[in-house]
Amino acid sequence: MQKSNLLKDFFRIYGNQENSPQLFFSPGRVNLIGEHTDYNGGFVLPCALSFGTYLVIRKTNDDNVKFASANFELKKSVSLKNLKEKVNGEWVNFPLGIIDQFSKKGKQISGLEFYYSGNIPNEAGLSSSASIELVTAFALNDLFGFDYSIIDLIMLSQKCEHEFIGVKCGIMDQFAVGMGKKDHALFLNCKTMKHIPVRFKLDGYRLIIANTNLKRGLSSSKYNERVSECARAVSDISKVMEINDLSDLSIDLFNEVKNEIKDNTVKQRATHVVYENNRVLKAVKALEQNQLETFGKLMIESHNSLRDKYEVTGFELDTLVEEALKIKGVIGSRMTGAGFGGCTVSIVKDEFVEEFQHKVGEEYFKKTKLKPDFYLPEIGDGVREV
């Protein structure tokens, strides 16, 4: 996306004033393995993508923050005196929530003009919300000289989700968007925030992200229900063993105490989390040893667990994975993100990429009457000024 075109659109909306705007970029992310472990204090392995959200921003001399986007018709002007007033169901709540977080920390923000332009599909599970949050937080930090670290901005963005948006998300999305590194996955311990970039060599292979195009709103999905179920599992196990999160348990320890969980559905949720954590550790080792096929098998195991034990896939995601695995040259495929719609991620040999898109798309449409979209991203860097 060319800087000149973004500036042209910005000036068309806001006019060419004395103050010069600045341009920032924040990527989307795809999680390679480690799903629904982040809010359980566990391990995840995401990477930042080459597509994301651009923000052109400029200070003004009035008392309003003005929002416009290339992706949505809604334009909004909000008085700095009324920042806590949430706009029902609208995208501007993400930057409003970020401004609210800075305000809670006593940081003064003056009038601003925002123009967002992104190529992350909305509600696809590729962290369009975290991308908007981080690019906003990063830009405000730069414009007003708040001197926050990237980790500070990541934590602030998560609090925006919890307190303003109303989604009790883990830290993975914001972390991957903030700390992504080109050609690397990010091995993250969500409890300690310890993170290690892991070289992700895709020589002869491509990542293909397939979008179900089944729309779902995360805050109205069963996401918070799964968070609650995991908390119930921790409560039951804590009667015989002191733990803070399910990720405190190894597989052996979990098998010793799992029968303390009386509700079978809750036990299944906990089983997924504990075994998924172990899969992430195996996946990191596989990448370090350049064993991409082993990594692919772990992706498949992850999807099966999310389908059978965590129950967050659904017919559309399962169909995409099933059809993907029928294609020669596919070594791994799984749902990615919160589930209940959204996307799958697959690793496909270069020579079968075109066949993958054609055959998977055709069979998926036959079974669901939905047309999928396919993306072939590169693995990129995290949030930054352009």
The residue whose two tokens read 């914001």 is 174
CA 324 to chain centre: 22
Q: Tell me how far apart the alpha carbons of residues 190 and 102 are, in angstroms, rounded to a whole number.
A: 23
Q: Tell me how far apart the alpha carbons of residues 369 and 108 are, in angstroms, rounded to a whole number.
A: 50
Cα separation values, 303 from 309, 322, 332, Å: 10, 10, 10
The single-letter DSSP state of residue 37 is -
In this structure, the strands spanning 43-59 and 112-118 are antiparallel
Share in percent of the chain as helix, strand, coil (round to 5): 45, 20, 35
CA dihedral 315, 320, 321, 325 (to 10 degrees): 140
CB 22 within 8 A of CB 385: yes
Residue 35's φ and ψ, nearest 5 degrees, are -105, 135
Active site residues: 173
Q: Tell me how far apart the alpha carbons of residues 65 and 188 are, in angstroms, rounded to a whole number.
A: 35
Q: Tell me how far apart the alpha carbons of residues 55 and 377 are, in angstroms, rounded to a whole number.
A: 20
- Cα-Cα-Cα-Cα dihedral sign, residues 337, 343, 345, 346: positive
Q: Tell me how far apart the alpha carbons of residues 110 and 85 are, in angstroms, rounded to a whole number.
A: 17
The single-letter DSSP state of residue 350 is G
Q: Per-residue b/e over 308-335, b at no fewer than 16 CB within 10 Å?
A: ebbbbbbebbbbbbebbbebebbbbbbb
